[in-house]
Structure 1
Amino acid sequence: MEPKYSRRHNALNVYYVYVFWMLFTEPFGMCASEEKQIYEPKLMPSINEVVHFENDSYIVTCDGVGARVRWFSPQNTWVDPINRGTNVHVEEKNFESALIFASITLEDKGNWTCEAEDNPQRIGFNMIVYKPISFLDPQNVQSVKENDDAVINCLVTGDPEPTITYYYNGQPLNIDSKKYRSLADGLLIKNVSKSDSGEYTCKAFQISSALSNVEEKTIRLNIQHKPILPVRRESADIQYGYVKGSASLACEAEAQPPATFRWYRNNKHLDPEHYQITSGEHISILQIHLNSSKEFGDYVCEANNSLGTLKRNILLINGTKPNAPLHITLRGVNSNTFDLDVGAKKIGPRDPMDITGYRFEIVSTEEHRNNGGKWMNARVVLKDFTDGVTYLINNLSPNTTYLIRVASKNPAGLSDWMGPKEFRTYEKAGLGTDNPSMGIRATSQNIVMNLIHLLILYIAWN
Structure 2
Amino acid sequence: MRIFLLATVFCAVFCSVHAAIPLSSRQDDFDYPADSEGDEDMQGDTDTGNYYDDDKEEKNVEPITEKNRNRVEEPAVILTRPSIFENNIGDSIVLPCKTPGNDSVIIWYKNDDILFQDAVTLHAKANHNLKKDSLEINNLQKEDAGQYRCVSMVSERNKAAITHEVKVKYSPIVTELSVKNNETTLKVGAELVLTCRAKGYPEPVISWHKETIKEGRTVNERFDATGNVLTIPSVTRRDEGRYLCFADNKIGKPSLEYINITLTHLPVVSIEEFIVNSDKEMDTELKCTVKAKPRADVVWLRNGIVLHSSSHIKMSNQDNEHILTLKGLRESDFGQYVCSANNSLGAIEKSINLVKTPAIREFIKPERPTKDLVLTWKVESKAPIIEHELQYRRKGDSEWRSVKPTVHGTDDGVYVIKYTLKELDEGSYETRCRSRNEHGWSDYTEVTLVEFDKAHHSKHGNKKAHKHNKDKSSDVEQSQQPQKESEIGESKNPSSASSTTAPLLLCSISILYLYFSRL
Fold match by TM threshold 0.5: no
- Find the structure with the greater CA-based Rg: 2
TM-score tier after normalising by the smaller chain length: 0.3 to 0.5
TM-score w.r.t. length of structure 1: 0.37
TM-score w.r.t. length of structure 2: 0.34
